[in-house]
Amino acid sequence: MSAVEKMSAAVFEQFAKVLESNVGLLIDPSKDYLLDSRLSPLAIRHGYSGYIDFIKYLVNNPVGNLHWEAFEALLTNETMFFRDRHPFTTLQEVILPNLIEKKKVSRELKIWCAASSTGQEPYSVAMIIRDYFPELLGWKLSFLATDICHHAIAKAKDGIYNNIEVMRGLSQEQITKHLTKLDNNSYQMKQEIRDMIKFELLNLIKDWPSMPKFDLILIRNVLIYFSGENKASIFKRIKNQLDPQSGYLLLGASESILYNPDFQSIDSRNLHFYKIK
């Protein structure tokens, strides 16, 4: 008998609803191993006998700091520099050249990396800009990166990564050019790279702050964890945040909105990206 069955279906269902309503994350009873592995250490640290007792406390009390510790423990922050590679090649060879042409009069470019996790994705974009489009450094460049997870945003702001994280996606040339080796066998993104990006907390399923119309939005590898209803709501809001004339939208490798009548798909190098119809 699984731990979720021992917990009772009713308690699990209550917790699943609290989790989805606060962070958008869907979870089903087959993920009992995930609850166990991620919540048990947290539960024991706070004096509970195990994660089941911890969950029982969470569903019977108003959402507070302990709930958010649990929510963040369950979030998937898997990321790496230049993840999936193809989107970044398309960004370098197609999207950014097109944006530079479209925006050459105003010389303003606005980028939003939603669900930026610990920062490797926006830093990858920043490296492309510095390496291949240095003229953009003389433009009014606004680069926002957001995530729901407090510790992910804190790590992204610091821009410090261990040896394994750095080796996942970066060449030795990129490491030498854009990172500084620290004493503890870790690396930090150089100040000029960190200064390009503003990292902020943002919960995609809650109210969004006032933001400008963006020329490029990356929202990759996060919506796969959301319900169809939440996805539809987010895409509707993304449409309102994307510049209707110049804006492009990039999703994760396994994500698509070909069914969405608000967006037009552009196929380049076997990669779909989108603009408003």
The model's pTM is 0.93
Q: What is the mean pLDDT of residues 198-213?
A: 97
pLDDT tens digit sequence for 213-246: 999 999 999 999 999 999 999 999 999 999 999 9
CATH number reported for the structural domain that contains residue 21 in this entry = 1.10.155.10
Number of domains comprising the chain:
2
Asked whether residue 102 falls in the same domain as residue 44, the answer is: no
The rounded percent of the chain whose pLDDT value lies above 70 is: 97
Asked whether residue 92 falls in the same domain as residue 67, the answer is: no
Q: Hey, what are 276's tokens?
A: 């408003």
- Cα–Cα distance measured from residue 206 to residue 193, given in angstroms and rounded to the nearest whole number: 30
Asked whether residue 96 falls in the same domain as residue 65, the answer is: no
Kindly state whether residue 235 falls inside one of the protein's structural domains. yes
Domain final position from 74, 103, 127? 74
pLDDT tens digit sequence for 134-186: 999 999 999 999 999 999 999 999 999 999 999 999 999 999 999 999 988 89
Asked whether residue 68 falls in the same domain as residue 135, the answer is: no
| pLDDT recorded at residue 258 | 67
Give the residue numbers spanning the domain of 191: 86-276
CATH number reported for the structural domain that contains residue 143 in this entry = 3.40.50.150
| pLDDT recorded at residue 30 | 83
| pLDDT recorded at residue 129 | 98
Asked whether residue 134 falls in the same domain as residue 231, the answer is: yes
- Cα–Cα distance measured from residue 46 to residue 40, given in angstroms and rounded to the nearest whole number: 10
- The 3 state secondary structure assigned to 5-59 is HHHCHHHHHHHHHHHHHHHCCCCCHHHHHHHHHHHHHHHHHCCCCCHHHHHHHHH
Q: What is the mean pLDDT of residues 243-251?
A: 95
Asked whether residue 121 falls in the same domain as residue 205, the answer is: yes
